[in-house]
Amino acid sequence: MVSIIECLQLNACPNPVVLSLQIGVYRGHFRMDQHGHNLNRYYTSPDSILQPTIYAAKSLLDYYAKMNTLVMYLDMHAHASKRGCFIYGNVLDQVEDQIQNQLFCKLISMNTAHFDYEGCLFSKEHMVRIDPGDQAKGLTAEGSGRVNTYLAYGLIHSYTLECNYNTSRIGNEIAPPEQEIGGTNITQPSSFTTNPEKYTPSVYAGVGRACVIAMLDIRGHNPCSRIPKSKMKTLDRVRNAVVMEVRNRKEYIGKAIQSREREKRKSLTSTAGANGGSSKFNTGVCPPTQSEEFVWKRVIDEFSTSPSTSMPGSAGAPHNGSTGGLGPTTAPLSQQGKHMYSILSLCCSCCLA
């Protein structure tokens, strides 16, 4: 979590929302707060007295959704049993939205050896499950931050990032960036392995950086992308691999990809033309003089500018319409951060850094 915050706050960006949910393990609870409540089941209708942190989180989500600046929800958890760093994601109504949903996760795995894309779970059943102890209270996973944020706002990119305490199941093959770059926090190229290293704080930090870099890769705006030197070579090929995977899911068999997704893909070229016609920028080729610090500067440019109006006073405010994914846009780079990318909502129930 700390590495993500540092990336987004290099230029004192005020927009990331960081929430620490107090757990009650000190009093003998598991996954509960001091009142014995599983806080990650109360996002539907939180109580300002009994679940004040969730109430505050929901108020912020309502506010930024109304401002049309909510583009991602990333809930960070520690995981005691399943090995690796992976994501619990949602199953969306539209096949083209699901492609964007899973594409982001695939791109994370191309930027860190320690994120297990095959270990990610996108399941309808997981979205409505009832955990032991919750049935008597009438609570389901639909009240979790990840699921409720999707259901309430139509947010494509709503995830729970789970990280094991010990090690990964595998280590991904990581390609080098297109050009040699400087900087002190660079993920080194690596080969696939079934015997990955044990987790350290720097490993967790690398996973966090990969989440931020994937936001740039999915928009085609990463000047130091690893995609060109990977086996996939282009973002379109990565996306096509995800398309085949999504089409084989039982929820989408027989469904066609809508034309609006094809229009999104066309706008990648339009963005290149709007910025001097450089096709290299959109395919992720790094100019010879760029450094990793430039990537973090680009993150700030893309995700900066916060609304100046006041915060809402209550949670659960109604929201009309849905928010889209991290797809490419046709606005000039200098303006894009002012349109959509002003908030990354991070919710952490266990400190991983």
Residue 178 maps to a domain = yes
How far is the C-alpha of 98 from the C-alpha of 199, rounded, in Å?
Answer: 30
pLDDT means per 10 residues in the chain (353 residues)?
64 51 61 83 94 89 90 88 94 95 97 96 95 87 95 95 92 88 75 93 92 91 92 96 94 71 43 35 35 50 43 44 55 36 35 31
Residue 242 maps to a domain = yes
Residue 323 maps to a domain = no
Residue 324 maps to a domain = no
pLDDT score, position 335: 38
* Catalytic residue (one of 6, 125, 142, 162): 162
pLDDT score, position 5: 66
The helix or strand, by DSSP H or E, that contains position 273, with its residue range, turns out to be: helix 259-274
**Residue 185 belongs to domain with CATH number:** 3.40.630
CB atoms < 10 A from the CB of 121, how many? Answer: 14
Residue 168 maps to a domain = yes
Q: Identify residue 100 by its one-letter amino acid code.
A: Q
The helix or strand, by DSSP H or E, that contains position 98, with its residue range, turns out to be: helix 95-109
pLDDT score, position 274: 40
Would you state the structure tokens that stand for residue 132, as one six-digit string? 């032991």
Q: Structurally, how many domains does the chain consist of?
A: 1
pLDDT score, position 249: 92
pLDDT score, position 178: 82
Would you state the structure tokens that stand for residue 131, as one six-digit string? 């955990």
Q: Residue 184 sits in which domain range?
A: 2-10+18-305
Residue 312 maps to a domain = no
**Does 162 participate in catalysis according to the annotation?**
yes
pLDDT score, position 80: 84
Would you state the structure tokens that stand for residue 126, as one six-digit string? 């997981």
pTM of the model: 0.75
How far is the C-alpha of 132 from the C-alpha of 129, rounded, in Å?
Answer: 10
Helix (H, G, I), strand (E, B) or coil at 193: strand
Checking 138-144 for CB contacts under 8 A at 24+ apart, the result is 139/38, 139/41, 139/42, 140/41, 141/41, 142/44, 143/40, 143/41, 143/42, 143/43, 143/44, 144/40, 144/41, 144/43, 144/75
Residue 239 maps to a domain = yes
Residue 310 maps to a domain = no
pLDDT score, position 99: 96
